[in-house]
Amino acid sequence: MNLNRLTIKQAQEKLANGEITSVDLTKACLARIKEVDDKIKACLTVCADEALAEAKEADKRRKKLGAEAISLPLLGIPYLAKDNILTRGVRTTAASKILENYIAPFDATVIKKLRDAGAVLLGKTNLDEFAHGASTENSAFGSTHNPWDLERVPGGSSGGSAAAVAANICLFALGTDTGGSIRCPSSFCGVTGLKPTYGRSSRFGLLAMTSSTDVPGPITKTVEDASIVLKIIAGHDKHDATTPEVEVPEYSEEFRKNIKGLKLGMVLEYFDQVTDKNFKEVLLKAVDKLKELGAEIVPVKLPYAKYGIPVYYIITPSEVSSNLARFDGIRYGLSSDQVKSITEVYTKSRGEGFGSEAKRRIMLGTYVLSAGYYDAYYLKAQKVRTKIKEELDFELEKVDAIITPTQPTVAFKIGEKNSDPLQMYLEDIFVTGPSLAGLPAISVPCGFSEGLPVGFQLIGKRFNEGMLLRIGHNYQEATEWHNQKPSI
C-alpha cells in the first residue's frame, strides 16, 4: 500500500486505529517526492528533517491524547504549501530571485493554524513568480510539469501545489487564489481546488499580490478533504482586518444532505465559448449528472462578466505595483552590489530581482495609477467591478450556486502561450468574476478530453462554502473522476 496515495479522510482512519503512524505517512510522501519530483518539479524546497521531526511529534501527541485525538483531524497529515506563504525557518521565495534566500521570521496565520492542528509541513511548492500567471512558467526557478503530460503546464499560479496533489506526493496542499490561481491548476491537474470567500481565511503572512482579492485555500484529492482543511484554516484573524467574524460551520453535516431540488444556474454563454467539442461534451455530461442527482438547472445570463478580464488587469497590476514597492533591497531580499547611490539600490535591486511578468505588472500598474490616467483606468475599473459583483449577487439570489467550466481548455503545452501576455491573461476568463466579487468557488474534476483532465466550477454566495462542498461531494459520491490518477 502506498500511503502517499491516501486521502486525508482515509489516513485519519488508519492513524486513529493505529494501523499507521504519521512517520510512516511522511516517509511515504518523502519517498514519492524523491521518485517523481525530478520530472514534475512541483517542490522548490523539501524540508525532510523538519517534517520527520514534526511527524514524530504528531505521533507522540496522538498517543498522549488517546481517543481525544479525533478532535484534531489533521494531526500527523503531511502537506505542502505554496511558496508565497510564509513559513518560519523554512525558505519562502515566491518563486522570485528577489527572495531567493529569504527566511521568514514568523508563520502565516494559515500555517500557524495547521501547525497547531498537528499537520506536517513537507516543503514549499512552485508558482508563477509572486503568483503572477496561469501556467507556473513565470517561476524564476523553472516551470512545473503537468503529471498527466510532462510537456504541458500544470496551470497556475498554484501549479506546484496542484501537480503535487495529482501526483500523490502529499496528502493535500495549500494554494492562494487571486483571480483563479487555485481553480485553474486544479482543473488542469484533475484535483479539487477551493477558493474560499474573500476574508474567510486570513491573508496574514501571504506575500501580498492583490490585497483586495487574495485568499488562501486548499487543493485536495476530494471535496470532503477540502472541507476538512477549510474548517481548520478559516476564521477571523486579529492580524488581518479584512476577515469578518463569521462563524465557520461544521461542514461534515452539509455532506449528509443530498442535492435534490437545489437550483443550479448554468451560464450558457460560457459553455458556448468552449470551442473544443470533446471538452464541451465532458462538461455537459457533468451538468447532466448533477441533474440526475436532483438539481434543477436554470439558465443564467451574466452580461458584464466579459469585462472581468479587463477589470482584473487594471486592478491587479495596480495593487501589485503598490505591494511590490516594499522590495527595496534594504530590509530583506536581493540587494544589488553594483550601486553608487541610494536610488540605484532600489532600481538595480528591483531590475535584477524581478522577473519579466512581475516587471510587466509593476509597469502596467504604475501607468494606470499615474497622474492623468487614474480616473480613466483605475476608477473606471472599480466601477465596472461593482457591476460584475452586483450581477453575480443578483443571480445568486435566485439560485443555490452557479455552474461554469473552470477553464476554456485543457492544459496547454509549455511555451505555447508565454510569448504573448494577453493570450495568457485570457485563460482567466471564467475565474476572475468570483474573485472580483469575493465569492467562494470550487473546481471539481469531471472527466477527460484527449487524456487530460477537465473541471467544472461552482460559484456560491459569500461565506456559503458549505453549499459548494455539498454539491461537489454529492457529485464525487456518484462519479469516479476524482479517483483517476496520472500514471507517472
Partner 1 sequence: MQLSKEEIQHIANLARLDLTEEELEKYGSQLSNVLSYIDQLKEVDVTDTEPTAQVTGLKNVFRSDEIGEWNKKEVEDALNQAPDFENGQYKVKRVLE
Among 354, 430, 475, 481, binds partner 1 (CB under 8 A): 354
Q: Which residue has the cell 473552470?
A: 406
Catalytic residue among 157, 158, 161, 318: 157
Q: Name the active-site residue from 181, 187, 435, 449.
A: 181
- Residues 142, 294, 351, 415: which binds partner 1 (CB under 8 A)? 351
* Contact status, residue 213 vs residue 440, Cβ threshold 8 Å: no
Smaller CB distance to partner 1: residue 126 or 321?
Answer: 321
- Residue 105, interface with partner 1 (CB under 8 A)? yes
Quick check: 364 binds partner 1 (CB under 8 A)?
yes
Size of the site for partner 1 (CB under 8 A): 66
Q: Exposed e or buried b for every residue in 18-41, given b needs 16+ CB within 10 A?
A: eebbbbbbbbbbbebbeebbeebb
- Nearest distance in Å: CB 135, partner 1: 17
Which residue lies nearer to partner 1 by CB, 347 or 484?
A: 347
333 binds partner 1 (CB under 8 A): yes
Catalytic residue status for 341: no
Dihedral pair phi/psi, residue 250, rounded to 5°: -80, 100
Please, which of residues 273-302 interact with partner 1 by CB under 8 A? Answer: none
Residue 229 neighbours by CB distance under 10 Å: 29
Residues 437-466 that bind partner 1 (CB under 8 A): 437-438, 462
- The question of whether 449 is a catalytic residue gets the answer no
Find the part of the chain contacting partner 1 (CB under 8 A) among 10-18, 167-175, 273-281, 384-392: 384-392
Candidates 114-122, 172-180, 188-196, 355-363; binding stretch for partner 1 (CB under 8 A): 355-363
CA gap 440, 426 in Å, rounded: 21
1-30 residues near partner 1, rule: CB under 8 A: none
Least distance in angstroms from the C-beta of 200 to partner 1: 10
102 binds partner 1 (CB under 8 A): yes
Sequence length of the chain is 488
**Is residue 106 close enough to count as binding partner 1 by CB under 8 A?**
yes
165, 191, 381, 403: which one contacts partner 1 (CB under 8 A)? Answer: 381
Q: Which residues contact 19 (CB under 8 A, 6 or more apart)?
A: none
Nearer to partner 1 by C-beta: 25 or 311?
311
Of positions 53, 100, 141, 212, contacts partner 1 by CB under 8 A: 212
If the CB atoms of residues 2 and 370 are measured against partner 1, the closer one turns out to be: 370
Our CB check for partner 1 shows the closer of 242 and 278 to be: 242
Residues between 226 and 245 that touch partner 1 (CB under 8 A): 238, 241-242, 244
Nearer to partner 1, 367 or 394 (CB): 367
Cα–Cα distance for residue pair 34/423, rounded to 1 Å: 35
485 counts as catalytic: no
Q: Which of 27, 41, 82, 348 is catalytic?
A: 82
The binding track of 43-72 with respect to partner 1, each residue x by CB under 8 A or -, is ------------------------------
Three-class secondary structure of residue 218 per DSSP: strand
Nearer to partner 1 among residue 155 and residue 329 (C-beta): 329
Catalytic (active-site) positions: 82, 157, 181
* Residues near partner 1 (CB under 8 A): 102-103, 105-106, 198-199, 212, 238, 241-242, 244, 304, 307, 310-311, 313-314, 321, 325, 328-333, 335, 339, 341-348, 350-352, 354, 356, 359-360, 362-364, 366-367, 370, 377, 379-387, 389, 421-422, 425, 436-438, 462
